[in-house]
Every structure is written in structure tokens, then in C-alpha cells.
Chain A
Amino acid sequence: MLLTSVIIVLREFLEAAMLVSILLALSTVLDISRRWVGWSLTFGMAGALVYSFGAAAISDWFDGVGQEVISAALQFLVYLLLFSFVLLLRVSGDRRLPEKLIMLIMAATVSLAITREGFEVLVYILGFVNVLPQFVTILMGAAIGASIGISIGVLIYYFVCSLSYRQSLGLGISLLALVAAGMLSQAVLLLIQADWLPSQLPVWDSSGWLSEGSVTGQLMYALVGYEATPTALQASVYFGGLLLLLIVAVLAVRSRRESL
């Protein structure tokens, strides 16, 4: 039970921590105020509370696939927000960045991500609220899982920040593009699960090489959206979304070479 709660909370925290740490590192590199973090944590947790209290109603929407549709919409929005952030870097060129707008985009991105990840953690933990001994164990597991997730986020933050300006910017945006493409592929998968998009047989099966259930598989899932058995649709949306973001990112990093 302790281990289960560590794993569940870690899985959800890892994805959110990854996003927060990359955006925080980019804020530091681009000299943008990091005040958005506090706001996004508050809004994200409020969002997760609203989502979990409305979960029963939401699940019934769209003939019983409301959870998938809402979750996919949140993921898709996160991709769009991250794309608009990289696009802003590109159009700003060497000029001063629109700091307020970027802070707003970062806050919105993280709020949406925490709403989605926080929902699952809340539903899980609240399920044990009436069973006191189990509840305590689960809270302990949740604390351990959250700490590991946050630690990995801190490591990523310091690693990205430790490089030179251009390397930090390049690595930060590349990691962001991978996370964003992963979100897009998850959104497609959810819509396939809801039968809104056509399902197909997988285009490849790499589960023998790297299982999604393994520790490395979970880490790769959170970091680059790894799927062992994706369908053609999912894979093309993933690589299409990644390529699009990377092209804008390369242009953005080039145009900011002289700044600072």
C-alpha cells in the first residue's frame, strides 16, 4: 500500500514537476520573473479540487467519455500554450520579451497541468479518508512520491541553468518541445479511448526493449511521452507536433543569439 501510493503520486508529480522545472529554468535563463509559479500552484490546486468534486458529473458527459474529452482538451491546450510561448520568443527576436504575457502563458500552462495531474492524486487519496490507518500510510507514501518527483524537477532545473546561455536556452526549449509533444500524443490516445478518433493496430511494439511499466519507461513517458505500442495516428501527431515546435524553437534560439 505504501509503495502503491508512492508510485501513483510520483507518476503524476513527475509530469507536473518536469514542466514546472523546465519553465522555471527558462524563466531564469530569459530573465523573466518567477512569480508565476505561486499563482499557477494556487490555481492548479483549485482546479484539481473543482475537477475532483465535479468528477462524477464530468464522467457522464459525452455519453460516458467526459473524463477523456476534458483531459484531452487540457492536454491540447497545454501544447498550444507552450507553442505560443516558443512562437513569442521567435517573434520577439532580439527585442525585450513581453514579460507579463510570458508569465501569464507559463502560469496558465502549469495550472492546467496541475489540474489534470492533481485530480488523479486527489481522487486516490480522498478514497481512503474514512479508513484512518490506511489514510496515514497513503499520506506518507504520497509525501515520499511527491518528494522524489520534486527532487527530479530540481535536478533538471539546475542542470539546464548550469549551461551557457545558448545551451541552456536550446536544451530548455528542446525538453519543453518533447514534453509538449508527449501531451499531444496523450490527447490523441484519450480521444481514441473515447472512440472519438479511429483506433488502429499499433505501428510498432518496443515493449520488449523498454516496457512502459518499468522505472525507465515511466521516466521516459513523463519526459518525452514514450509509448511502447502507439498507433500510426498517435505517432504522426507526436512527431508532427514535435517537429513544428522544434522548427520554431531553432529559429527562436538563433534570433536571440545576441541578447543579454
Chain B
Amino acid sequence: MNVASVQAGKPVVEIEIRDHLFWPSEIIVPANTKVKLMIYNRDPTSEEFESYELNREKVILGNRKAIIFIGPLLPGEYPFFGEFHPETAQGKVIVE
């Protein structure tokens, strides 16, 4: 279970970007629930979190963090990627 903590009923999931990779690259979240993603960009370069399936898009500057709310989602897999480094920065949200 990747859900790190629960704040005001909203699960929080933390993801790091290191060397243009997502850590972890797969996260598991509950179905039909709004989830707060905290994304820490540990690289000096900017990245853009992007997902067509999640309908999300956000620029995360180098050495900064960003908050993105996702869900509620139906069970399934929702890929996301770093638009600035799509060769390596790939991941997915698994909704159970």
C-alpha cells in the first residue's frame, strides 16, 4: 500500500522524481476516492507531470514540490509520464 498518510479524509501519496525517473513508478490508490499526490522533484531540471488518462498536467520546477489532486477513479490502470523526459519518466496509478 502506497498511501502514505491520511489528511482530512484525503489519502496522500508521495512520489519523487530522481534522475528523470518516478520513485515509486507504480502507486496503488483506492477506487472512488480523491487522492492528493505530493510530487517532489529532486532533479535540478523542471519536469511536467502529464497523464491523458488522469486528465492531469502540471509543471514541477527543479528542486521543488507540487500538489496534484486526482480521482475519484474507477478501478484500472492510469499511466502518467514526465513530458520533458518521456524516455525514462514513466509511471502508472493502479486503482483498486
- Report whether B67 and A63 are in contact in the complex, using a CB–CB cutoff of 8 Å: yes
Say if the beta carbon of B48 comes within 8 Å of chain A. Answer: yes
Say if the beta carbon of A98 comes within 8 Å of chain B. Answer: no
Say if the beta carbon of A255 comes within 8 Å of chain B. Answer: no
Most chain A Cβ neighbours within 10 Å, of B36, B59, B72, B87:
B59
A interface size (C-beta, 8 A): 34
Choose the segment among A84-92, A120-128, A238-246 that binds chain B (4+ C-beta atoms closer than 8 Å). Answer: A120-128
Say if the beta carbon of B84 comes within 8 Å of chain A. Answer: yes
Q: Which B residue sits closest to A196, measured CB to CB?
A: B69
- Report whether B66 and A59 are in contact in the complex, using a CB–CB cutoff of 8 Å: yes
Tell me which of A55, A199, A207 contacts B61 (CB under 8 A): A55
Q: Which B residue sits closest to A234, measured CB to CB?
A: B55
CB neighbors of B among A183-237 (8 A) = 189, 192-195, 199-201, 207, 211-213, 227-230
CB neighbors of A among B74-96 (8 A) = 74, 83-87
Tell me which of B58, B61, B83, B86 contacts A56 (CB under 8 A): B61
- List B contacts of A120 (CB < 8 A): 48, 59
Given contacts A56-B64, A193-B68, contact A124 B84 (CB under 8 A): yes
- Between A and B, how many residue pairs show CB distances below 8 Å? 71
- List B contacts of A228 (CB < 8 A): 52
CB neighbors of B among A67-95 (8 A) = 67-68
- List B contacts of A227 (CB < 8 A): 55
- List A contacts of B53 (CB < 8 A): 207, 229
A64 and B68 CA atoms in complex are apart in Å by 9
- Shortest Cβ distance from residue A51 to the other chain B in the assembled complex, whole angstroms: 10
- Report whether B74 and A4 are in contact in the complex, using a CB–CB cutoff of 8 Å: no
Q: Which A residue sits closest to B47, measured CB to CB?
A: A127
